[in-house]
Structures are given as structure tokens and as C-alpha cells.
């Protein structure tokens, strides 16, 4: 019995010592020098400070970072490592590396995959990455691969459509992106510069409408804006995220004809300027709109003309318009300015329409 007690004591002691040992940490960068390890698909992180505003699912996205957004990411082989063009597709093995993976960006805009995605061991192809937002349309449908292209159709009016592409230039004679390229870049500590980076572009034009009463006496009339819609315009648009033939990649094509905007507003018209709404539309040279103004409970429909067709309202710009109610029966709309999503100038600043 005494021998058994001693053996039990020794066994417990050994167990306690073994449990106290620390588990060796896994080296997340072991793949850099160990070519038997798989190379993960990693994106360089944004150097921007922070998002100016928290992004929302619908409406115009602002800020310097793609902050906590659901985006789609696609990775396809468009070249072999000797620069021979590739027509990627489901019939050719390893040419589709990422098949429209949904990713929620971090608070700093970073894109990471969980579980991880790895480049093939064989460095046969150089991959290009594409991304788009929103990941799904109003019907809950994501981009699908049909006839050699990933595409998605959105309803227009209040959705900011974004698209990005990341293609590598060769590094020391190695064409990327693939495992060999990423190893070479990482060894030289150039991953923040050379790893895939997605810079999103706005594909629509944002029209911001505001309203103000010309005279302080406007308060006495009980005037309000109850609706504002662009008319005779595209009501939907299809984004080609990536085209295996390279013909329509990144192209947004409008379709349908009708009205987009808001029919259920309630914005009081006072001597202080107030926001009416923001409408996201396909770029065009001119727009028409219906403004519904309620006066003492009675609705008046006013037709507005925006632009003269000689210059284009461009994708990636926010244009501001102030609707001035001169009296309950008269309205003037003036284009008052441009907030830059990217550098540019207002095509018709301060022009009455």
C-alpha cells in the first residue's frame, strides 16, 4: 500500500509539472523562410488615422477609412507568372482563389479572413483582388459568377456603391500576388507597401438637397417638404466586379427608368437652412426632380431642372443644392458647392436652375 501511495504521489507531481509548462507559441510568420508552410493571403492595413464618421449600410459613405462595413472580396488569376494572360473560371483549377468572400472590415478598415485563405504552393499564377460594397443588395443577394463575370444589381436612390482593385507590379522579377511574391516582399519588410491594398472608389454621384425660406415670414405659412425624387432616371444599376475577359470590370451600368428618392419626408421650411435628403444616382449631365411642398396640409408638386447637360455630374462627388422657398408658390434651386470625395471643381457653381 505504501508503495502505491508513493507511486500515486510521483504521478501527480509529474502531471502538475507537465501542466505548468508553457505551450510553445506559434510563429505566425514562419512561412516567410519555411517554404513547406502555406502562405496566407494578407492585406496591408490602412495608414489613415480614423474614420470621420461611422459608416452605415445605406447612404453615402464618408470618412478616410472603410470602417466596419460588409464587403465582398474576390481573388482571381489574371496572369501566369511569365505574364501570359489567363481567362479565369471554375473550369480552370486554382484560377479562382477567393470566391466572393464576405468580410467585415475592422474599425481601422483592415481586411482579414477567418478562417485564413492561403495561396497555392505552386506559384503558377499571379492573383488580382477585387472588392465591392454593399456585399448584398436590397434583396439580400450577393454578387454571383455568371458568364465569366461576378456582378450584382442594386436599387438606386440611397445606396453608395463602392469598388476596389488591387493588382501587383513585379518585385525583383517576381510577379504577384502569390506565395513567392509575398515571401520576397516580407523578407525585405515591405509588406505595408507591397501587399494587396484596396482603395475603394465611389461609382455614383451624391446629390444633397437643402431647403430654406427666403423670408422669416415663411414660418407663418406652415410650409414643409414631404417628398423629393429624381425623375426619368435610372432606377437600378449593375456592377461588374470582375470580368474574366477584362471587358467590363469595374463598370456600373444603369437600367430601368423612373423615379428614385423619397416620398415620405417631413422637413419644415424655416428661415434656417435644413437638410432635405441625399440621393445617390448614376452620373449624368442633367437631372429632373419632383419636389412636393405641403402648405397648410395641401400638397404642391414642383418640377426642378438640375444641370444643363454641358458638363457631367461625376462619380465620386457630392453636389449640394439649396432649394429656396420664396413664398408658398415659388421655389428657386441653386447649386451651392461641392464637397470632395476626390479632387475636382463644381461644373456650374452658384448657378440658378
* Mean local confidence (pLDDT), 316-332: 82
Cell numbers linked to 293: 411642398
| pLDDT interval class at 344 (50, 70, 90) | very low
State what percent of residues in the chain have pLDDT above 70.
Answer: 81
Q: What is the pLDDT of residue 328?
A: 64
Q: Among residues 202, 222, 203, which one has the least CA distance to residue 213?
A: 222
Question: Does the pLDDT value for residue 338 go beyond 60?
Answer: no
SS3 of 219-248: HHHCEEEEEEEEEEECCEEEEEEEECCCCC
Q: Cβ(284)–Cβ(252) under 8 Å?
A: no
pLDDT digits (tens, 9 = 90+) for 73-111: 999 999 999 999 999 999 999 999 999 999 998 888 889
Bridge partner list, 242 = 150
| pLDDT interval class at 307 (50, 70, 90) | confident
pLDDT digits (tens, 9 = 90+) for 296-306: 888 989 899 99
Q: What is the pLDDT of residue 221?
A: 81
Spatial distance between the Cα atoms of 282 and 157, rounded to a whole number of angstroms: 9
Amino acid at each position: 500500500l505504501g508503495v502505491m501511495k508513493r507511486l500515486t504521489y510521483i504521478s501527480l507531481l509529474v502531471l502538475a509539472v507537465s501542466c505548468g509548462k508553457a505551450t510553445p507559441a506559434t510563429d505566425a510568420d514562419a512561412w516567410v523562410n519555411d517554404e513547406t508552410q502555406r502562405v496566407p493571403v494578407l492585406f496591408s492595413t490602412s495608414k489613415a488615422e480614423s474614420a470621420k464618421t461611422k459608416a452605415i449600410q445605406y447612404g453615402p459613405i464618408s470618412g478616410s477609412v472603410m470602417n466596419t462595413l460588409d464587403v465582398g472580396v474576390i481573388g482571381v488569376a489574371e496572369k501566369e507568372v511569365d505574364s501570359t494572360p489567363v481567362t479565369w473560371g471554375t473550369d480552370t483549377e486554382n484560377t479562382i482563389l477567393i470566391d466572393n468572400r464576405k468580410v467585415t472590415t475592422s474599425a481601422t478598415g483592415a481586411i482579414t479572413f477567418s478562417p485564413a485563405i492561403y495561396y497555392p504552393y505552386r506559384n503558377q499564377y499571379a492573383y488580382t483582388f477585387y472588392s465591392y460594397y454593399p456585399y448584398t443588395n436590397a434583396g439580400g443577394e450577393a454578387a454571383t459568377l455568371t458568364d465569366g463575370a461576378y456582378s450584382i444589381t442594386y436599387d438606386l436612390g440611397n445606396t453608395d456603391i463602392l469598388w476596389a482593385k488591387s493588382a501587383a507590379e513585379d518585385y525583383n522579377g517576381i510577379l504577384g500576388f502569390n506565395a513567392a511574391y509575398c515571401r520576397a516582399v516580407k523578407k525585405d519588410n515591405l509588406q505595408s507597401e507591397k501587399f494587396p491594398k484596396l482603395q475603394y472608389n465611389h461609382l455614383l454621384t451624391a446629390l444633397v438637397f437643402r431647403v430654406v425660406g427666403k423670408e422669416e415670414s415663411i414660418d407663418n405659412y406652415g410650409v414643409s417638404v414631404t417628398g423629393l425624387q429624381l425623375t426619368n432616371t435610372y432606377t437600378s444599376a449593375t456592377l461588374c466586379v470582375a470580368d474574366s475577359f477584362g471587358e467590363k470590370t469595374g463598370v456600373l451600368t444603369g437600367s430601368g427608368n423612373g423615379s428614385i428618392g423619397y416620398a415620405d419626408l417631413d422637413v419644415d421650411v424655416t428661415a434656417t437652412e435644413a437638410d432635405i435628403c441625399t440621393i445617390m444616382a448614376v452620373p449624368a449631365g442633367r437631372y429632373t426632380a419632383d419636389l412636393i411642398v405641403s402648405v397648410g396640409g395641401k400638397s404642391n408638386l414642383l418640377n426642378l431642372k438640375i444641370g444643363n447637360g454641358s458638363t457631367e455630374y461625376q462619380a465620386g462627388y457630392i453636389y449640394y443644392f439649396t432649394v429656396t422657398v420664396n413664398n408658398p408658390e415659388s421655389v428657386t434651386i441653386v447649386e451651392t458647392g461641392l464637397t470632395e470625395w476626390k479632387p475636382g471643381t463644381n461644373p456650374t457653381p452658384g448657378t440658378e436652375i
